[in-house]
Each structure stands twice: as C-alpha cells, then as structure tokens.
Structure 1
C-alpha cells in the first residue's frame, strides 16, 4: 500500500511535547492496514453495507428482465427485443465502465463522496423512469443515469469487504453479493404485483423509494480500512503481464455475456415457447434469482476451501450444459427445475469474480480497487453487446434455438478460459486452491 513518507519516530520527549503526533497516527494507519484483519462485528457491518449496495446495483440489473417483458408487450411495443435490450445492456456496460474510475477513487480514500454521487444518480434515475413514455426517455433514465450510479456504487462493495477479511474472504464476498439475488427477487415481485393495480409509474416509484431507504444507511456505515494510496492510476500496467489475471478476465467476459441472456429472455421464452400459465411465467425470473441466492452463499462458503476460480470454472460448465438442455424443455415442471439449477449456477458465478481478482492480486493489495475496475470495464464491453446480439438472433433466422446455442457456447468458452487461468497460476494439480 503506497502512502505518504513517514519520518523516523521521534523520542518520548518530542511526543509528550505534542510533536510527531501526526506521524504516529499515519504510522498507526499503515500498521493497521498491514495487520491481519480481525473479522469482527465491524467487518460484518461492512458486509451488510456491501449487501445493500449489491441489492441496488446487481439486484436492479438482475430484475431488468421484468422490465424487458413489460416494455416489449406494453410501453415500448413498437420496438424489437434487440432494441429494448440495449437499455439493460447499456445500463450494465456503464456500471462496468465507470468502475474503472471508481476503483482508484476508492483506493485514494474518497469512498463517501463516491457513494453519495452513486446513490443520487440511482435514485434519480429510478424516479425519472417512472415518468417515461418514450424509448429515448427510458434509455436516458434507466440506462444512462442508473448505469452511471451503479458504477459508482458497485466497486466499493467488494473493495471494502476485501480489506476486512482474509480467511473468510470468499464467504464474506458471497454473503454481500447475496443482495444481488435478493434484489432480483423482490423488485420483480413488487413490479409484477403493483403494475396492474397502480400502473407503471407508481410501481416504479415504489421501487425507487425502497432503493432510497436502503442506500441512505450505507453512507454512514461503510469505511475503508486500508490507508489511502497517495499515487493511483486507472490502470495497473503489471496486470497486462499477468497471464492468469488476463485469462480470468476473458472467462468472466464470456460468463457474464452468457448468463445474462437467460435473465433477459426467460419470461419471453416461456410466453412464446411453452404452455406455462401467465402467473407462473411472471415468477420464472424470481425463481432464478431466488436460487441464485443459495448459489452465492453455499459455493461462497466452499470456495474458501477449494478456490473461487475453481468454483467458477465448475459452475460455468454446468451452466452451459443446462442451457443446451433448454432446447427440449417445454413444460412447466421442466422449466421451473431449469430455472432453479440455472439460477444456482449463475449466482455462484456472479458472486465470486471479486474474490477471484483478489486471489490473483494478493501481492498488490493496494491495487485491488484498480484491478477490479479494470476487470469490470472489460466485462462491460461484452455485456453491452451480448443481449442485443441475442435479440438479433431471436428476431432473425436463429430463433430461440439460435439464442440458446449462443448462450451455451459463451458459457462453455467461459469454462475453458477460467480453467486456463487456473492452470496458468497453479498448474495441472487438482490440489491447487485458487
């Protein structure tokens, strides 16, 4: 961790006279940052704060499928699936892109202003979405404003949590990321139940008020443990020579591109390709997000023992196999089982990227925020185009089979890249924990 130069500690007389106190304080901060984290109640309070941040970033992103379906069938019925998916994809892309700048800002010690700006943009974007009646309005409010807000809010979550944990890093990361799954459960339920009763505008405003209420406490409880770095950069140049890190990024790009396709299109698939009742169709996204909650917690616990990258490799493989199976699933029971298993794999994969980056950056902990930002920006480029491509395949000759194959191939490519990252770091030994 880079910090300001600290001169030699003064003698007792100087200290008693009040000289050198600032230097001692600086030394204490550095020593605290270098000591093993105690993993006490305050550390778990940071997990709670990160949980709330994930609830209102990834959680809202995971809930976009319910908006995608509503827009296509009602508010933006004149637009194609591919066009509407640009709203969610741009939102995700901006979150990942802004993370490049948010990481160094956290490393520099400006956590609270970053959280304040992100909270304002997210809440404002949600309220403005409730007033929208045209595509360009929805795009500016839900894609641009909220995407920028998400970018300010997400990186602080894993960065701060990683500073308070060592032995239980993956568990803490998984617990905090469970907010993503909870958001993906409650927000679609709220919208689905309220929209027919009170309309799109007020249903969206109710969600906005919940976002406001759950983000405000975060401004007061989250605090960085590491000393601010006096020199920071948007890029860690050494990362470009780190083969395991580069392969991990490639695997994460493919994985997020693949997993999010089903999140966006599962309700539409059920409507057009299966005999599911309308109420059950509306809950498929909820089922995926509910099972992803277990996927974030259970694998997060075991990832501390077998390695987060090892875990992600396995769930990407299983997720790819499940996706190919979707081609032949046409009944209610089969689709619900698919959503449960797929959600579990998606939750495990999406809950562990930060832990993977941390595990490959232990020698450069002062650059974790920067590396997380770099990773998320890279992932964002893939997420930006994945669902519009899926929508174009769906509306073209590929149809639903083409969309499913696109998703499955991406997940298999993710598995291969993650496995290559593991081999590059620890070799072919099955005992390697990474």
Structure 2
C-alpha cells in the first residue's frame, strides 16, 4: 500500500469513529500513533506558517467586509447622496452574500487541488477591486456596486472556504485550535479596518487617496498570505460534486447542522447590524456608539483565540450548543439596552460568545466529513444555505423595527429564531447519543 493510500485510509477510519463518538473529542491513542507516522504533523514551520497565512486571508476577507459600516456612513452623507441608505446597503449585503455563496464553486475546486490558483485569483480580484473603487466619482453608484459588491465579493468567496479548509491538511489533534486562530483574523480585521477607514475617509486624505492606502495595505497582506500558505498531498476526490450532495442529503447530522446554522444566523446578525444604531437612538454619544462595534469585535478576538483550547475539553458540538443558546439569550436581552453600561456589557458578552460559534462551524463541518477530500464540497453546500441568512437578516430586522424604532420586536424575534436554530444542535447531540447507545463497544471511554 502506498503512503498516499495509507493517509487516506487513516483519515477515513478516524473520521468514521469520531462521528459516532462525541464530536470534537481527540482521537484514541492508537489513532494518534498512526496519524503521527503517516498523517498531518500537527505542528512545524510549514503548518503554523499556513495558519498565519490563512489568518491574514480572513483579516483581509470578512474582516474587511465588517468595515462596510464606514462606507455606508460615508456614501450616505457625502459620496452617494442621491441614493437611499437602503439602496447603498445592498453593496455590503451583496459582498457578504457572495463571499459565502461562492464557496459552492471554490469548495469543489479546492478538493481538486486548485488551492494555489484560488488564492492567487481571489487575492488579485480583491486587490484590483479596491484600487478600481478609488477611481469612482461621487454619484457613480453602479461602479461602486460592481467593484465593491460584485468583484470584491467574488474574490473573497474564492479564498474564504479554502483558506480555512487547508488547515485540516496540517493538523488533527490541534485542528480546532488552529482553525480558531485562523478565524480570529476576522474580528481583528473588524477592529483595524473600520478605524483606519474612518480616519482616512473622514480626514484630510479624501476618498481616492484613502482607498488607495487601504488597497495597498490589503494587497501587501494578501501577498504575504499567499507566500506563507502551503498544502500537503491528499487523495484526489473520486466522487463528483453531485455524489457528495446526495450523500449529504442522506446524513441526518449534516442536515440538522445546516438547518440549525441557517436559522441561527438569521438572528445572529441582528446585534452586528443594529447595536450601533440602537445605542444612538437611546441618546448615547455618537462617537461612543461607533466604538461599540469595536468593543464587540475586541471581545470576539479574545474569544476566538480561546475557543480552540476550550473545545479540546468540551467537544466541538457541546461548545457550539452552549454558545448558540447564550447568543439567543443575549439577543433577547437587547430589549434592556438603555445606557452606556448596558452597551458595554452587551457588546462584550455578545462579542465573546458569538465568536465561539463562528470559530466552531468549520471544525463542526470537518468533524462530519468522513473523507477529507470532500471537505471543500461539504463546506460549499453548508455555506450556500447559511449565506441567505446574512442576506435576509438585515431587511427582516429593519422591517420589524419600523419607523418608530420599537426595539423589543426585532430583539425578541431574532432571539427566538436563534434559539430554534440552537435546538437543531441539541437534536444532533441526541442523535449521537442514540448512536452511541446502539454501539456500546465504540462508545466506551466517552465522557
């Protein structure tokens, strides 16, 4: 048997055992020995260099998308004054939607060994779109929509899923920790990019030169990321994309995870979109309201760095259940937001627990993937459904809020729908428990 086949068999065997056992638990001592000899090294310069490069990809991807609030404010007040805030918001919504939904394309291409091409093309599209955006003139909504909404979103979509999935090639025991460190690039970018753009666009630099500076900064980081990321040889997928989709449609755990994530994320985005507006409408200083999102993302960054270590003890699914239930409770408690203290408490609390879910969703998909050569395709299938959550969340919450700003209605709705989503993860735990009861010999040693 070749080494390549041995790696494939080791991955497949270990993953099938882990699916029946508690999700997120470390492999048994025997499987660890096999993996240490033939599988991922779980460390080393090549592996941690890849983590660093993927971290930068997330920093420049979803970390930059989170800065659209600065663009929304600048476009509405100065640059695109002939267009309504609702129309302008579609630029950011489309960017976020494409960044997730394009994984339906980038996932299967990653499985077929196109990782480097995806990273190069996606990085070039992000860089070119930002530089092109700097040449748009006031009132040219269609150019901003194309460059920032379509091209940039498509480029981020090509890099998003592969830059997380490639970590699974280098780690087994430390996989959740490594993926958590990678996804921590998003909240760090959510802090740095908005502050930088706010000072550039609203300062003396102006729009064109400010975007030039931002584009240069992002392009340099993307170049560094591409130089650091490396792949390991994995089995070439033998199943087509449709075969993988049919397999997923017959897996109860995968269906529950996808439905739960889609429902949960409808409510998940409400604090991200409306915390700043909520604090402003309650008479809190505008400058402090801007930094409310920075406070939230700072807590999110700390939480993501710790998630991987905590998940090693609790299990991926158990920690996902705890984080989603806590998020639902905090969203409902936004009804009580009235002053600076409540904004700080809610921002810190929600930033910390919400990041746990985001950091664990990819490891959860990985745990449910019996053959890692299908990981990209499975991520694409899952994220295709969850992408609609971000697209629908803002408009639904805005409609419920109404012109009279009745905050209790969207807070209650989003909290309850998030709780329904979290119940799907609880159902996953019950299914796994029943599987373990039917196979007591496999479940021995579980806690």
In 2, distance between residues paired with 1:80 and 1:420?
43
In 1, distance between residues paired with 2:398 and 2:145?
17
5+ residue gaps, structure 2: 11-37, 437-442
Residue of structure 2 equivalent to 1:244 = 253
CA contact under 8 A between 1:256 and 1:350: conserved in structure 2? no
For residues 84-103 of structure 1, the aligned pairs below 5 Å read 84-103=88-107
Which range moves more in the overlay, 172-181 or 37-46? 37-46
In 2, distance between residues paired with 1:262 and 1:307?
27
In 2, distance between residues paired with 1:202 and 1:344?
35
5+ residue gaps, structure 1: 1-7, 9-26
1:186 deviates by 0.2
Residues 167-223 of structure 1, C-alpha deviations (whole Å, 9 max, x = no match): 111111101111011110100110122222122333333221111011112223222
* Secondary structure, aligned partner of 2:241: coil
* Secondary structure, aligned partner of 1:352: helix
CA contact under 8 A between 2:237 and 2:374: conserved in structure 1? no
Which range moves more in the overlay, 244-253 or 190-199? 190-199
* Secondary structure, aligned partner of 2:206: helix
2:43 to 37, 40, 45: 40
1:101 deviates by 1.2
1:416 to 423, 427, 434: 423
Residue of structure 2 equivalent to 1:280 = 288
Residues 70-117 of structure 1, C-alpha deviations (whole Å, 9 max, x = no match): 334443455445433322222122122210111111111111111111
1:297 to 293, 298, 305: 305
1:31 deviates by 4.3
1:407 to 394, 405, 414: 414
In 2, distance between residues paired with 1:145 and 1:390?
27
1:228 deviates by 5.0
Residue of structure 2 equivalent to 1:366 = 373
Residues 389-427 of structure 1, C-alpha deviations (whole Å, 9 max, x = no match): 223333456743333233322321221122112222334
Q: TM-score, structure 1 length as denominator? A: 0.87
Q: TM-score, structure 2 length as denominator? A: 0.84
CA contact under 8 A between 1:129 and 1:138: conserved in structure 2? yes
In 1, distance between residues paired with 2:58 and 2:355?
13
For residues 111-190 of structure 1, the aligned pairs below 5 Å read 111-132=115-136, 133=138, 134-190=140-196
* Secondary structure, aligned partner of 1:155: helix
Residue of structure 2 equivalent to 1:348 = 356
In 2, distance between residues paired with 1:48 and 1:113?
19
Q: CA distance change for structure 1 residues 405 and 135 in 2, over 3 Å: closer, same or farther?
A: farther
CA contact under 8 A between 2:74 and 2:201: conserved in structure 1? no
Q: What is the aligned-residue RMSD (CA, Å)?
A: 2.5
In 1, distance between residues paired with 2:141 and 2:410?
24
In 2, distance between residues paired with 1:31 and 1:407?
47
In 2, distance between residues paired with 1:144 and 1:47?
28
Residue of structure 2 equivalent to 1:4 = none
2:394 to 356, 378, 387: 387
Which range moves more in the overlay, 309-318 or 173-182? 309-318
In 1, distance between residues paired with 2:367 and 2:350?
26
In 2, distance between residues paired with 1:175 and 1:369?
19
Count of matched residue positions in the alignment of Structure 1 and Structure 2: 407
Q: CA distance change for structure 1 residues 123 and 228 in 2, over 3 Å: closer, same or farther?
A: farther
